């Protein structure tokens, strides 16, 4: 499903003295089947943006189109279930998503809510718990008796269990140990390769460089750039104004440029950087 934002503005409590625009006239297309990363500073509007996709928030003005579904300021809350079945969302704070007595019930909730039988939902729970790097023994535990990273994994499992077409991830790897982070990012990439649309909010530029096909940059509620990661991270205008941070490889390449190395474009992954360095040192 293609997702488009047309002139979307979202204003949180219009009357407050700090009347803050969560989103300010955003027009954006999120392509079907791609892995799209959304980045931007703390408070820039990323979570606000994605909450419009499954209609948790309604725009103050503008329209959002998800497949054949149109959401505007007067969309009511009825009949949102089909939309929410297609669009799974892992929230920024996973605890806010967990509520059942056991991990198993928690994971089963989604599929059953969308019409799966109990047997199917139980089966789904057993499959997804392993996908997120936990063994089946966790199924009988209370989700509140878990460590921060374990809760995060259960929240992710809960969303995967419903098998949504589009998966929105709001900083899904915050709190995961580095090995777990890599495994889970690869899992999302795999799902995308198999046909899902992935939308990832992250502060980790290396994850953007390593996994995303497209990226969008939000600044004070406005969309200020979008494109291929390689292009966006080489956007001089953004760099000059400190509007983006570089992946580690690009940062390191910048240092090397001062030592006589030359890069037409800053490499953004370790593989790209390694290949370039070898090329320049060995001349092959």
Partner 1 sequence: MEKIISIANLNYTYPDAKQAAINDLSLDIYKNEWISIVGKNGSGKSTLTKLIDGLIEADSGTISVAGQIINEDNIWEARKKIGIIFQNPDHQFVGATVEDDVAFGLENQGMPREQMVKEIDRALELVKMSDFKKRDPQSLSGGQKQRVAIAGVLATKPQIIIMDESTSMLDPDGRKTVLNLVQQLRKEQDLTIISITHDIEETELSQRIVVLNTGKIVKDGKPVEIYDLGTDLRKYGLEEPFSSKLMSTLRDTVKLPEGYLSEEELEQQLWKLHSNM
Ligand X SMILES: Nc1ncnc2c1ncn2[C@@H]1O[C@H](COP(=O)(O)OP(=O)(O)OP(=O)(O)O)[C@@H](O)[C@H]1O
Type and span of the H or E element at 27: strand 21-30
The one of ligand X, partner 1, Mg ion, none whose footprint includes residue 67, by CB under 5 to 8 A per kind, is: none
Residue 93 is a binding residue for ligand X (CB under 6 A) = no
Residue 230 is a binding residue for partner 1 (CB under 8 A) = no
Residue 260 is a binding residue for partner 1 (CB under 8 A) = yes
Residue 187 is a binding residue for partner 1 (CB under 8 A) = no
* Pairs from 279-283 (Cβ < 8 Å, separation ≥ 24): none
Length of the chain equals 284
Find the DSSP H helices in 174-282.
178-193, 205-211, 229-232, 236-240, 248-257, 270-282
**If we measure between CA atoms, which residue out of 3, 35, 81, 29 comes closest to residue 187?**
35
Residue 149 is a binding residue for partner 1 (CB under 8 A) = yes
Considering only 178, 194, 195, 236, the residue that binds partner 1 (CB under 8 A) is: 178
- Catalytic annotation on 100? no
- Choosing from 104, 171, 272, 276, the catalytic residue is 171
Beta carbon nearer to Mg ion, 43 or 274: 43
Q: What is the DSSP letter of 40?
A: -
Write a three-state SS string for 138-184.
HHHCCHHHCCHHHHHHHHHHHHHHCCCCEEEEECCCCCCCHHHHHHH
CB of 213 to partner 1, least distance (A): 22
CB of 149 to Mg ion, least distance (A): 7
Instruction: Please tell me the distance from the alpha carbon of residue 134 to that of residue 120, in angstroms, as a whole number.
Output: 20
Name the site residues for partner 1 (rule: CB under 8 A): 12, 17-18, 40-43, 47, 92-93, 95-96, 145-150, 152-153, 170-171, 174-182, 203, 205, 242, 245, 248-249, 252, 255-256, 259-261, 270-271, 273-274, 277-278, 280-284
Active site (catalytic) residues = 171
């Amino acid at each position: 499903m293609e997702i488009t934002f047309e002139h979307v503005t979202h204003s949180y409590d219009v009357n407050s003295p700090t009347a803050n625009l969560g989103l300010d006239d955003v027009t954006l297309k999120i392509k079907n089947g791609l892995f799209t990363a959304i980045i931007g500073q703390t408070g820039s509007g990323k979570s606000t943006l994605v909450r419009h996709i499954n209609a948790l928030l309604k725009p103050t003005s503008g329209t959002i189109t998800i497949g054949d579904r149109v959401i505007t300021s007067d969309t009511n809350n009825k009949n949102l279930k089909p939309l929410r079945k297609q669009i799974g969302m892992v929230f920024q704070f996973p605890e806010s998503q967990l509520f059942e007595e056991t991990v198993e019930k928690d994971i089963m909730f989604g599929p059953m809510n969308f019409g799966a039988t109990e047997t199917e939902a139980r089966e789904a729970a057993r499959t997804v718990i392993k996908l997120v790097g936990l063994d089946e023994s966790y199924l009988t535990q209370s989700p509140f008796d878990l460590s921060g990273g374990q809760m995060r994994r259960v929240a992710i499992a809960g969303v995967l269990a419903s098998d949504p077409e589009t998966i929105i991830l709001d900083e899904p790897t915050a709190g995961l140990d580095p090995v777990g982070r890599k495994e889970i990012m690869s899992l999302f990439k795999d799902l995308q390769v198999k046909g899902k649309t992935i939308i990832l909010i992250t502060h980790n530029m290396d994850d953007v460089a390593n996994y995303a096909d497209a990226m969008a940059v939000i600044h004070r509620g406005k969309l200020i750039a979008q494109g291929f990661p390689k292009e966006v991270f080489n956007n001089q205008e953004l760099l000059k104004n400190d509007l983006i941070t570089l992946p580690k490889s690009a940062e390191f390449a910048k240092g090397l440029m001062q030592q006589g190395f030359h890069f037409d474009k800053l490499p953004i992954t370790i593989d790209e950087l390694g290949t370039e360095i070898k090329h320049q040192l060995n001349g092959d």
